[in-house]
Amino acid sequence: MTPTYYLLLSALLFTIGAVGVLVRRNAIVVFMCVELMLNAVNLSLVTFARINGSLSGQIMAFFVMVVAAAEVVIGLAIIMSIFRTRRTASVDDSNLLKY
Amino acid sequence: MTSGTGSWLLAALLLVPLVGAAVVTALRGNDHTAKLAALAFSVVEFALAIASWVNFKPDGARLQQAFSFDWIPAFGVHISFAVDGIALVMIAVIGLLVPLVIGAGWADKLPEGRTKGGFFGLILLEQALTVGVFAATDVFLFYVLFEIMLIPMYFLIGSYGGARRQYAAVKFFLYSFLGGLIMLASVIGCYVMAGDELGKGTFDWATLVRVVHDAPLGTQIWLFLGFFIAFAVKAPLVPLHTWLPDATAEAPIGVAVLLVGILDKVGTFGFLRYLLPMFPAASKELAPLVLVLAVIGVIYGSLLATGQRDMKRFLAYVSIAHFGFIALGIFAFSSQSLTGSVTYMINHSIATGMLILVVGMVISRGGSTRVADYGGMAKLTPVLAAMLLIAGLSSMSLPGTNSFISEFLVLIGSFPNAPVYTIIATVGMVLAALYVLWLYQRIMQGPVRGDALIGAGGGPGTAIAPELGAKKAIADLNTREKAVLAPLLLLIVALGLFPKPVLDVVTPTVNATMCEAQLVDPVQSAEERPQCQ
Amino acid sequence: MNLAAEAHQASGVAGAAWLLLVLPAVGAAVLLLGGRRTDKWGHLLGSGTVIAAFVYGVILFFDTKSLPAEGRVANLHVFDWISVNSLDVEFGLRIDPLSLTFVLLITGVGSLIHIYSIGYMSDDRDRRRFFAYLNLFVSAMLLLVLGNSFVTLYFGWEGVGLASYLLIGWYQGKNFAATAAKKAFLMNRVGDVGLALAIFLMFKNIGSTQYDVVFAEIGKQSTGVVVAIGILLLLGACGKSGQFPLQAWLPDAMAGPTPVSALIHAATMVTAGVYLIARSSPLYSLPQAEDARFVVMIIGAVTLVIGCIIGCAYDDFKKVLAYSTVSQIGYMILAVGLGPAGYALGILHLLTHGFFKAGLFLGAGSVMHGMNDEGDIRRLGGLARKMPITFVTWTLGYLALIGFPFLSGYFSKDAIIAAAFGAHGTRGWVFGGIALLGAGLTAFYMTRLLILVFLGKPRWENLKSEDGRAYHPHESGPTMTIPMIILAVGSVAGGAILSGLLPAWLEPSVGELVETHGPLNHTVVSILTVGISLIGAAIAFAIFGRREQPVTRPQRVSFPVRAARADLYGNHLNEALFSRPGVWLTRFLVFVDNRGVDGLVNGIAAGLGGSSGRLRRLQTGFVRSYALSMLGGSILVIAALLMVRFA
């Protein structure tokens, strides 16, 4: 029973998420990648909790889930309203906030 | 935490212009009421300054009329004020100049949409802040006021000035602010040093003088430079001077008086109050550098003054030359030269203040700041011409005028320690005569020149002569203008003949400064050496 | 060397000596502040205060004279002036024979010229202001001679400079007058730098500027210090007294009204340099000051020759007299440079010169007053019959100046020439010879003036003045002629009376007059001088008296005449050495300041603005690029943490 595999899986998931955020254009996909990263972190938190025999890691994971849920609510709402006004969900098309 | 009536006087000196600024700004709807209120507040302030002078005991403590409150206890920052002889006379000069500036600006036309109330309110605010800068005895408080006082001046130049006022105001602000930031680094450095030494950091000036005093030379030099650059920008010393001609040229006349007469003095005041007592070893080490800059300033400023085509820029360069003299006196390290520099600060405010006001009166008649647009004006306005000449003569330190006393003290005091620099600066006397008489000749003497003047009637009480057609008459000084100039004229003569009241107040403080800076007069016998505590 | 008698505190009549300064100063203040209200009686107040000062001066003189010789030096403390620790300058007066002599000269000649000016300036609507300036001058000049320290002397020194500036520039609507005034002030300031530096040296080495202390201590100083102070004082004297190399301002100063030329630029102010050196006699008499004295003599000799040569070539009535003044002051400087043998002689010549030169100038003023202000001597001529009083008084002054036997110049100038011959070794021959030559030249140019102005044909009859009026020469009124007569009497008798009394009278101030015995004795020198003067006068007669002179100056003249007409190129030299390089330097510096220093500042500002403009482009608005930079940033931070942890 080696926790290393869990950590490796977590790192793999985090990397997939990070790359997804950087390369994908569809806001929904980017959003899901962010979720992926959050859950990768959750995995490692739970793993470390197990390793250290303390519950704080698990509690942290709950916090992350709550924040993620809140974020999903707001993020999806924003994406929806952008899609409604601009008829697109591409993150590259909404670049008004610049120099 | 106060002691006696003196503290109340000083507190009142700080509060009256602040309240005045608020009241005058609130009254800005009505120009006339606002003007009267501003004048009233400034006159009260002047009376308070006189009272404070009377209350001051020259032989008393180093710092008098002190009061102090906690401000940021965590860092040992206090709001503490007190005056010594130097601060006292500077505050008196501020008190004198502000009513005159208000009087001079009484009838000025302001740019579109600006009110007298706003203008005079800012001037009173500036007055409160400068009084604070001179009286602050907490180094952090000094720093804060040093920077804050830029803000009203920024608006005074930027909102009420001439055509390129935005450029000039920004330049002025950036120059001074940058210098101030470097000083902040040094201020914090001093705080840290005090923390190492005493176990708890402090910004109290008197404590810092004792603590930083004995720091190793290397440390002193870095801390010295931080303060020095800020003060050298303010003073201004060549080559950090280029903001002054622009600021003076664009500022309204009254603001130019405050700028040159008071704000710039904070720099030389800083030399005396902070550099010499806090960093004696570094001051001695770096004195040659400052002396070189000072002497360059004297010659460079004088030569450039003769080369100017614009009267207000001319005034700025004249001041740069004078600040060279002041810096020379401070870093020549004798009680005569230091006293000379302090009196120079006052006398320069009076003489150059008058010169600027008179030039403003010339400009308001001829409608141009270019020297070339004038000529032969003495025929039309003899009293104005006489005032220009007298202010000019004081500016070139003719004996019998106040500036002679200070220039003489600076030079004779500097000579034993720095003979070569003094000789070069003495040559500046010839150049001073050159630029003053050059200006006077161009504007006042010779045949009448210039669009505004040719064909204009003039002389006392002259109405427009019929043969001159529609040409406007150039009137001589009116009663208000005479009233503005009269106190300055009186002081120029009185302090030239009888400078004792000022010298008596300044000398003990200078002696104390000499002690703090571990300096000894080059010319004196052992028994007449002042005792240091 | 027992030079200066001990000073005691002034009391009695001398205790009110400050009145001398205050009287004219109050006059000036009332006239200047009172403005047009004082127009009606301004000239009376102006003259009255000076006459009052003169009366007080006479009383003070007799009071002092009644004291024994060693009690004639008095100090009067008026108030503490500048006092900072070891530097203590009191505002005090020194009443001694030397200063009293000057007080009488200044207030006496001053009173006469005030009276003269009432007539001379009667047409000027600003006459009141003129009297205010004259009063200001008298007050400052009295301070100069009465002050008891070098700083009070400096105060008066610059004060007379100011009065002179104001009066030279009296006709300030004219550019040349304004320029001449400025030039005079500036060249004086150059000299003042010397005086100021001398004062600084005294403070550094002696710790005081008070005459008593300085003269008591100066003997203990090293030769270098003494010579430096001596030469710096001389520089001051050169500026004020129009001596080489600072002589060029004095002729230009003739742009002022003639009474000014008579009072300030002939009789009193320009002799201040002589006063300064005579006052500093304890310094110059020291053996260490030998070199300084030698320089003084050289300056005096060079100037007296320059003045004569240029005086021969000028055609402007007053400018010839001005150069004559330059040259006569050269004699005085030469005399005081001789040391104890010459102080009293220099002062004697100063006094007699004060009489006859003031008289000559007033005569010139009278001529110009009657001739529509015409000053070109080629356009005058034959005025002796039209202006008899002017002619007679002027001629008496003329005779006194060229040293006609038993008139005042004879006593003073001959004595100087004889003393110059008495100088040590070859110096005696050189300086004596130069002084003798100067006497001949003086006779030449003065005779030329006399002939061209008063004798010969009236060349003005068919001419018109600049403003288009015909000339109607007439004698001046009594306010003008009476002072001229009084001065003429002084020129005739002054020398004979003073030469006997003055040296003994001045002894407490400048020390005993040492008789020198040169290779030629006094009688021989006198005969030589008179002879050479006669030859000079005769040559002038031969050239100018026998032929009719053209009304315009001849252009085809030899090189020496051309050089003399151009002031021996003194102005050209000043221009080439100081003026033009100064202008270029100023222009260059203005350029450097605007483009260089300020350009650097603005350049930094522009550079900052430009680079921030480029950096701004990093904000693309693409979320992904922000995310990338966040990732990069986090990686950097983590890498840094790991480095710190494991390195």
Q: Give the residue from C22, C82, C604 with the most B CB atoms within 10 Å of its CB, the best one to mutate.
A: C82
CA B157, CA B154: separation in Å to the nearest integer?
Answer: 5
- Touching check for C621 and chain A: CB below 8 Å? yes
Q: Which two tokens stand for residue C522?
A: 């006094």
Terminal CA-CA length for chain B: 25
Interface contact flag, C624 A21, Cβ < 8 Å: yes
Hunting for tokens 């205060």 — which residue is that? C49
Q: Which helix (H) or strand (E) holds C106?
A: helix C97-120
Helix, strand, coil shares of chain A, percent, nearest 5, are 80, 0, 20
Q: What radius of gyration, in Å, describes the C-alpha atoms of chain C?
A: 31
Residue B275 counted as domain residue: no
Residue C168 counted as domain residue: no
SS3 of B260-277: the string is HHHHCHHHHHHHHHHHHH
Residue B246 counted as domain residue: no
Q: Which helix (H) or strand (E) holds C596?
A: none
Please name each of the domains of chain A with its CATH number.
3-86 (1.10.287.3510)
- Touching check for B242 and chain C: CB below 8 Å? yes
Residue B205 counted as domain residue: no
Is residue B239 reached through a cis peptide bond, with omega within 30 degrees of 0 on the bond before it?
yes
Interface contact flag, B412 C87, Cβ < 8 Å: yes
Query: What's the pLDDT score for residue C247?
Result: 87
Query: What's the pLDDT score for residue B375?
Result: 86
CA B126, CA B152: separation in Å to the nearest integer?
Answer: 6
Interface contact flag, B399 C155, Cβ < 8 Å: yes
- Touching check for C630 and chain A: CB below 8 Å? no
Q: H-type helices in C242-289, by residue range?
A: 249-252, 258-262, 272-279, 281-284
The pTM score is 0.88
CA A48, CA C95: separation in Å to the nearest integer?
Answer: 106
- Is the confidence metric ipTM above 0.85 for this complex? yes
Structural domain boundaries, residue B325? 4-138+285-524
DSSP string across C114-145: HHHHHHHTTT-TTHHHHHHHHHHHHHHHHHHH
Interface contact flag, B304 C159, Cβ < 8 Å: no
Strand positions, DSSP E, B261-402: none
Q: State which residues of chain B have pLDDT below 70.
A: 1-3, 455-472, 525-531, 533
Q: Which of residues 456-485 of B touch C (CB under 8 A)?
A: 460
Structural domain boundaries, residue C605? 573-646
Interface contact flag, B530 C83, Cβ < 8 Å: no
Residue C302 counted as domain residue: no
Q: Which two tokens stand for residue C77?
A: 């403390």
Task: Using alpha carbons, select from C433, C199, C420 the residue that is nearest to residue C294.
Answer: C420
Interface contact flag, C172 B521, Cβ < 8 Å: no
Interface contact flag, B446 C190, Cβ < 8 Å: no
pLDDT means per 10 residues in chain C (647 residues)? Answer: 58 83 93 87 92 94 87 88 89 91 93 90 88 94 93 94 93 88 92 94 91 90 92 93 88 89 88 92 90 92 91 88 92 90 90 91 89 82 86 92 87 88 84 91 91 84 78 85 90 86 86 77 86 90 80 76 78 80 84 83 86 84 84 92 85
Q: What radius of gyration, in Å, describes the C-alpha atoms of chain A?
A: 16
> How are beta strands C74-84 and B77-83 bridged, if at all?
unpaired
Residue C122 φ then ψ, to 5°:
-65, -25
Residue B341 counted as domain residue: yes
Number of B/C CB contacts below 8 angstroms equals 156
For residue A92, give the 3-state DSSP assignment: coil
Query: What's the pLDDT score for residue C302?
Result: 93
Interface contact flag, C590 B446, Cβ < 8 Å: no
Hunting for tokens 């994406």 — which residue is that? A79
Residue B73 counted as domain residue: yes
Q: Which of residues 323-382 of B touch C (CB under 8 A)?
A: 335-336, 339-340, 376, 378-379
Residue B513 counted as domain residue: yes
Task: Using alpha carbons, select from B37, B45, B34, B84 the residue that is nearest to residue B61.
Answer: B84
Query: Exposed e or buried b for every residue in B199-229, given b needs 16+ CB within 10 A?
Result: eebbbbbbbbbebbbebeeebbbebbbbbbb
The answer, yes or no, to whether residue A37 has pLDDT greater than 90, is: yes
Task: Using alpha carbons, select from C385, C348, C412, C391 the residue that is nearest to residue C484.
Answer: C391
CA C278, CA C283: separation in Å to the nearest integer?
Answer: 10
Task: Using alpha carbons, select from C236, C144, C32, C152 the residue that is nearest to residue B389.
Answer: C32
For residue C464, list its beta bridge partners: C470
Residue C143 φ then ψ, to 5°:
-65, -40
Chain C: list its partners (3+ Cβ pairs within 8 Å): A, B
Interface contact flag, C616 A21, Cβ < 8 Å: no
Query: What's the pLDDT score for residue C427?
Result: 85
| Cβ count near C66 (within 10 Å) | 10
Kindly report, residue by residue over B380-395, the tens digit of the pLDDT: 888 999 999 999 999 9
Q: What long-range pairs does A79-84 form, CB within 8 A, spacing at least 24?
A: A79/A27, A79/A28, A79/A31, A82/A27, A83/A27
Number of structural domains, chain C?
1
CA C137, CA C167: separation in Å to the nearest integer?
Answer: 9
Task: Using alpha carbons, select from A29, A30, A35 the residue that is nearest to residue A69.
Answer: A35
Residue B208 counted as domain residue: no
Interface contact flag, C158 B398, Cβ < 8 Å: yes
Query: How close is the nearest chain C Cα to the Cα of B137, in Å?
Result: 26
Q: Do chains A and B touch (3 or more CB pairs under 8 A)?
A: no
Q: Which of residues 23-42 of B touch C (CB under 8 A)?
A: none
Number of structural domains, chain B?
1
Q: Do chains C and A touch (3 or more CB pairs under 8 A)?
A: yes
Query: What's the pLDDT score for residue C635?
Result: 92
